[in-house]
Amino acid sequence: MKSTEISVNSATCYKNNNLIFSDVSISYNDGDIGIIMGPNGCGKTTLIRSICGIQALDEGQILLDKIDIKNHNNNYMDKIIYIGHKNSLNNDFSVYENLEYLSAFDSSSKINKINEAMKYFDIYKYRNYMVSEISEGNKKKVSLARLLISQKKVWILDEPLSYLDDTAVNIFTNLVLNHQKKGGITIASTHYDFSKNINNVKYLNMDPGR
């Protein structure tokens, strides 16, 4: 498997003329777990979104394998899966259908892994529930289940632990560990450090911008 490097190169971002963060640099390689921490409002979400190309940077670049993602012809996402704050679930679909739908946006995903993924996160019993009929924590689990369906190497997660109960946090931590073992990269923002006894963790502590 080809090795992958994703790096943030002296990134600076303004919003509405306010500096959000400046000169942030970090790079992640195979097997890295990147934890982005920092107080509320320091720009974790903004940084994560710019790594995924949703948010434009004012200065600096995001490089995937040394090439600016802007020059990747829009297919740099074939190595990256992004799971944001919001669950990206469609209320008009059942849990199962949502996972089907979301998989269709991911070239690497394996539809036949959906059931397995649901079982892994212990939400199989809700498979035919409408999303609006399951609890907040279970919604988060559904969106995390995408990690098991997708075969991508780089996981970019924005506060993946919110609303999860302790069991689910452990399940998730194990999942990240397994991913690491396979050489995958995980980049996650979080307030609760799930990585206490994990190796190869790269912390990025963001100071409040102002």
Partner 1 sequence: MINMLVKKELALYFRNLNNIFLPLVFFFLIISIFPLVLGPEKNLFDKIIPGIIWITAILTTILTSNNFFKDDFNNGIIEIYLTSDMSVELVLFLKIISCWFFTCFPILIFIPLVSLLFSIPFQNSMVILLTLFIGTPVLISIGIFGSALTLGLAKNNILTPVIIIPFYIPVLIFSASAIEAVSTGLPFEMQIYILAALLILVLPIMPYLLKYTLGLSINN
Partner 2 sequence: MNISKIANLKFFYTNTRKISYYMSFFVMILFIIGIYWGLFIAPEDYLQGDSYRIMYMHVPAAWLSLQTYMVMAITGFIALVWKIKIMEIISIQCAPIGALFTIIALVTGMVWGKPTWGTYWVWDARLTSELILLFLYIGVMVLYASINDKRQAVKITSLLAIIGLINIPIIHYSVEWWNTLHQGPTVTKFDKPSAHTTMLYPLLYMFIVFNIYFITVIIKRVRLGIYAREKNSKWMEEYTDD
Ligand X SMILES: Nc1ncnc2c1ncn2[C@@H]1O[C@H](COP(=O)(O)OP(=O)(O)OP(=O)(O)O)[C@@H](O)[C@H]1O
Cα(69)–Cα(174) distance, integer angstroms:
30
Within 17-46, the residues that bind partner 2 by CB under 8 A are 17
Which one of 11, 81, 159, 184 is in contact with a second copy (CB under 8 A)?
159
Cα(89)–Cα(154) distance, integer angstroms:
21
Least distance (Å) between residue 102 CB and partner 1? 6
Cα(99)–Cα(180) distance, integer angstroms:
23
Q: Is 207 in the site for a second copy (CB under 8 A)?
A: no
Cα(1)–Cα(9) distance, integer angstroms:
25
Chain Cα centroid distance, residue 31: 15
Cα(188)–Cα(14) distance, integer angstroms:
22
Which one of 2, 40, 74, 196 is in contact with ligand X (CB under 6 A)?
40
Least distance (Å) between residue 95 CB and a second copy? 12
Which residue minimizes CB distance to ligand X? 137
H helix or E strand, kind and range, residue 138: helix 136-149
Within 128-147, the residues that bind partner 2 by CB under 8 A are 130, 133
Within 57-96, the residues that bind a second copy by CB under 8 A are 85
Q: Is 142 in the site for a second copy (CB under 8 A)?
A: no
Only segment of 23-31, 42-50, 65-73, 148-156 that touches ligand X (CB under 6 A): 42-50
H helix or E strand, kind and range, residue 189: strand 185-189
Contact positions vs partner 2 (CB under 8 A): 15-17, 130, 133
